[in-house]
Structure 1
Amino acid sequence: MSITTILGYEIQPGVSAEEYEAWLFDVHAPDLLANPHLDRIVFNKVLRPVRQASGGTADVPEGLTFYRIAEMHFADEQAYADYLAWFAEHPIPAERGPAGRTEFKFYLVTESTEVTR
């Protein structure tokens, strides 16, 4: 059983998409991947809500938008606990972190089950 954290977020007002992308891939992702307990990160850029067969859009509350839905993958619950402990001992400096750049809408810890062909 693997553990995945799922985060939905927008970019903070005043930060351009270009600035955000440069920080995300050049600074933040390497800082996160320095933690040996994190297996991988998947960044999903949100394009649009999906249309239902009835022609309506999926149930997205009015005004709720996401720039990205990100996933961080861990081997198991212990690896996630070790990830948190590692960052407690090796904090990301505030100037490199998400504050002022990322407006989190949700952050969930999930048990993942993958089904493949």
Structure 2
Amino acid sequence: MIKAILGYDIVEGVSEEEYERWLFEVHAPDLLANPHLDRLVFNKVLRPVTTASGGTAEVPPSLLFYRIAEMHFADEAAYQAYRDWFTDNPLPAERGPGGRTDFRFYLITDSRTVERS
């Protein structure tokens, strides 16, 4: 599995309530209409952390984001198919993130999950 990891803030002038309504009522359904996207995970940032694992390392002050989101794909080919699908089926500008979302980073990652057995 690969993930697109996105960190972002809300554009100044857009309320949190307006943003949340748009995100879950408009944008998430628009994204999930793309058959190549397996899953969305929205991680709302609560606070930064300055130490790791019981004080074993100091963590530099973090940039604080409103949310870090994950988009899950089967593999690189599925991600490319996702991009291609939106080329053929573009989102109308009034439904998209422009003017609402201030992206800070957007990365493609190789993901491995480790769970307690």
| Same fold flag (TM > 0.5) | yes
Paired residue type of 2:105: F
Per the alignment, residue 114 of structure 2 pairs with 115
Q: TM-score, structure 1 length as denominator?
A: 0.91
Per the alignment, residue 65 of structure 1 pairs with 64
Number of residue pairs matched by the alignment? 113
Structure 2, gaps ≥5 residues long: none
Alpha carbons 1:49, 1:58 under 8 Å: kept: no
Per the alignment, residue 49 of structure 1 pairs with 48
1:13 is paired with a residue of what secondary structure? coil
Cα distance in 1 between the residues matched to 2:12 and 2:105: 18
2:108 is paired with a residue of what secondary structure? strand
Deviations 1:53-104 (A, max 9, x none): 55x973235xx32000000000011100100000000011000000000000
Alpha carbons 2:5, 2:109 under 8 Å: kept: yes
Cα distance in 2 between the residues matched to 1:5 and 1:75: 11
- The percent identity for this pair of structures is 66
1:23 is paired with a residue of what secondary structure? helix
Paired residue type of 1:43: F
Cα distance in 1 between the residues matched to 2:64 and 2:48: 9
Runs of 4+ aligned structure 1 residues displaced above 4 Å come to none
Per the alignment, residue 13 of structure 2 pairs with 14
RMSD: 1.5
Deviations 1:7-53 (A, max 9, x none): 00000000000000000000000000000000000000000011315
Q: TM-score, structure 2 length as denominator?
A: 0.91
1:57–1:49 distance in 2 versus 1, CA, 3 Å: farther
